[in-house]
Homo-oligomer: A and B are copies of this chain.
Amino acid sequence: MSSDSAPKQLLTKFVVSPLTGPSPYIKPYCVDFVLDGVNRKWHCMRNHDAVVIIVYNTDRKALVLVRQFRPATYLQRCLETNGGKLESLMSVETAPPLPAEAGDVLEACAGIVDKPDKSLAEIAAEEVLEECGYRVEPDKLELVGCCRSGVGVSSAKQTIYYAEVSDSVQVSEGGGNAAEGERIEVVHWPVDQIDQLLLGSGGTSGSCNEIYIGLQFCLLWFKVNKMQSS
């Protein structure tokens, strides 16, 4: 499915409320520490580790990316539009102020690490199948490396893989786990148009949503390490 063929999504409700009780996703902590004799405090949160997979379709000479509605991005967009007034998003009477597309973000295939009985490569292969519809063997994934994200807040670990796929191993349309409410659009982005997505390379003068920092790394990594041979 190409980006152009995706049907328009309809957002009919978007209501924000302060999170008061415990959440399985946002677990805030206070850290009280003494470094070189100076007492300091820091607020942070625990977050799941993640796997990220840079998927390249060698037949189509295209990167296989995903686009989905991100509530946090939509919320930020609304606040950037209305001058930061959260209150106007807290009433059930108020219709969503922006179309659903304002929350769409283009990303590399990724998933959280929440299956202790599976290896990271197995979890990564499952995400490629579930989100993108391509069957890859875990032992065919190339390990790019491991890094941290959000070091100020959660510092969760990301393990990044590279996968080459072909049309012959595309077994479904992908789209995510419908039972979990996922609704993911698969985007085949031709690598000869990669600069259109890259910061400071003449592209992406438009929407911030297209240029998630994690995707920027994946695009640049592919360009530097794989473009010559692709």
Contacts and interface: CB of A to CB of B under 8 A. Distances in A.
Interface in A120-145: 144-145
Interface range for A: 35 or more
A1 interface: no
A11 to B, nearest CB: 6
Interface of A: 9-19, 23, 25-40, 42-47, 69-76, 79-80, 86, 96, 100, 105, 107, 144-158, 160, 162, 181, 183, 199-201, 204-205, 208-209, 211-214, 216-217, 220-221, 223-225
B17 A34 contact: no
Chain copies in the assembly? 2
A20 to B, nearest CB: 9
A18 B26 CA distance: 11
A36 to B, nearest CB: 6
Contacts of A11: 33-35
Contacts of A33: 11, 13-15, 71, 74, 96
